Structure 1
Amino acid sequence: MSAKILDGKALAARLQTEMAEQVQTWIPQVGRPPGLAVLRVGEDPASAAYVRGKERACERVGMASFGQHFSAEAPPSQLLDTILRLNQDERVDGILVQLPLPPGWDPIPPLLAIEPDKDVDGLHPMNLGRLLRGEPGLQSCTPLGVMRLLQTEGIPLSGKQAVVVGRSILVGKPLSLMLLAADATVTLAHSRTPDLADVTRRADIVVMAVGKPNLLSADMVKPGAVVIDVGINRTLTPDGSSQLVGDVCYEEVKEVAAAITPVPGGVGPMTVTMLLHNTLESYRLRNRRGNGCSL
């Protein structure tokens, strides 16, 4: 029996509709919509496509977009100056630097420059520290999207064995902390993990986030496990065209797993939606403090 398909695209559309209604409720009291600034450096086509998708999502929910594009030849100080200005801009509730930056650009200074309460990507050390301590704060969008998808689908986490493959600061590490907070027993595996198949076969929940096409095969999955595929890889087909695939051998693993996310249409749409969610949360919190809104 094939696995249940966890449709992140459908859930994202529903959540965005709900957010659009909430935005319209807040605007008359605040006097402006929520604002998001996505900052892109260089000409990477994938980054450009991701930014366009985020800007279109802003439009759908009624948020203002303050994005800017910088040349890869621009001095890094230009990006830092823009971030500092946006920190002080009352129209802007969220700031995101689109990663990866071009070669030669250090991502750490711009990420540190973002005001933590406007850090809607959840990558500032203060927000990562809040996550580690179990305190309220803005959380990384992709892990947050995975958790929202699991919770909405009613997939139990408490007491379950969860394996996260990939230890990046963007996905693997924060997601492991979120799963721990949900009372799962978490193993964080990576490229140096010996006998990865033995580790994943013991898991009730497997999350793949390594960026290696079709790494997880059916013989690496316990029957009835839940498989979450965060990977997005562009590969060539025999006819020379390209296609997007995940880190999971989808067609074979779906015959073993109880539930699985597709690529595309699984985690990706949830990442963008959680970016909007974080922007809206920042907007609400800032205006509750500043304007005494009651909502």
Structure 2
Amino acid sequence: MRKLAPNPDDLGRLDLDDILGTINEEVRRRFGEGEVADYIPKLAEVPKDRFGMALAMLDGRVHEVGDARERFSIQSISKVYTLTLALEAAGDALWTRVDREPSGDPYNSLIQLELEKGIPRNPFMNAGALVTADVVLSNYDDAERMLLDFMRARSGNPEVGTDDVVAKSERESGYRNVAMANFIRSYDNLHNDVQDVLDFYYQQCALRMDCVDLARSVQYLADGGRCRATGEAVTTAEGATRINSVMMIAGTYDAAGDFAYHVGLPAKSGVGGGIVAVVPRVMGLCVWSPGLDEKGNSLLGRYALHRFTRMTGLSVF
């Protein structure tokens, strides 16, 4: 595979619209593969014959294809943003409460919590995301409003909002998350009321965005922490590097190694079928297709990213 050159001007040799068009055709021939997340009743209603992909370049250009403007539930993609906020609030002290290692277990596993005394393996497992949600609640007034404003600013879209029906659906079916939160609290690793932490967690997962919104929203991780929409320093260059590294090792759960092998980009998936990825110094990107593989990642979304990195040579390896 051709290596990514340091100079982004080399992108001029690539016809990105043609590449996206080819990927779109290939993916649509495979519609029907994977299964939607039926454990959240509202997500079970989403049709599988959807595919969108968007690239948000650091120079402001956007390339998109398919259903890139159709909104969907971002689910665990939201963990990237709460991790960013928690790190800004707590700094390296965050890593005393949540580790930064691959899990090797499913995203909703309870097993490691007992073995490791209430310290989640990483912030992208559900257990780790509950801890980062707790940190956000402890450090920001009106955390739900603040997160919504943060997402609107990062995406440049003031209409980003929460799907209350999805949040309610998650609240009514989230028995494992309830058990997990109480177990972590028993080790004094949640400092806020358990129900408050769970409610914030369900709200963040129920955010609705489209591929263009999400591709723009991760641009700060491609640009040393700077948000292109506002010019704001969302985090430091080191902070962006750290978040990207955790995305690489844990962003696609217990499929992270296989994902790195086939795609080679820092990425974060969600059971709504979305995957965001980062090409450092070049772009943020997002794919969406609701059918999931057995690990909870978009099956055709992963295929699309695999084809994209092979056709462009844009990989961190």
| TM-score after normalising by structure 1 | 0.30
Higher relative contact order (CA 8 A, sep 6+): 2
Q: Give the structure with the larger helix fraction.
A: 2
Q: Greater Rg, structure 1 or structure 2?
A: 1
Q: Give the structure with the larger strand fraction.
A: 1
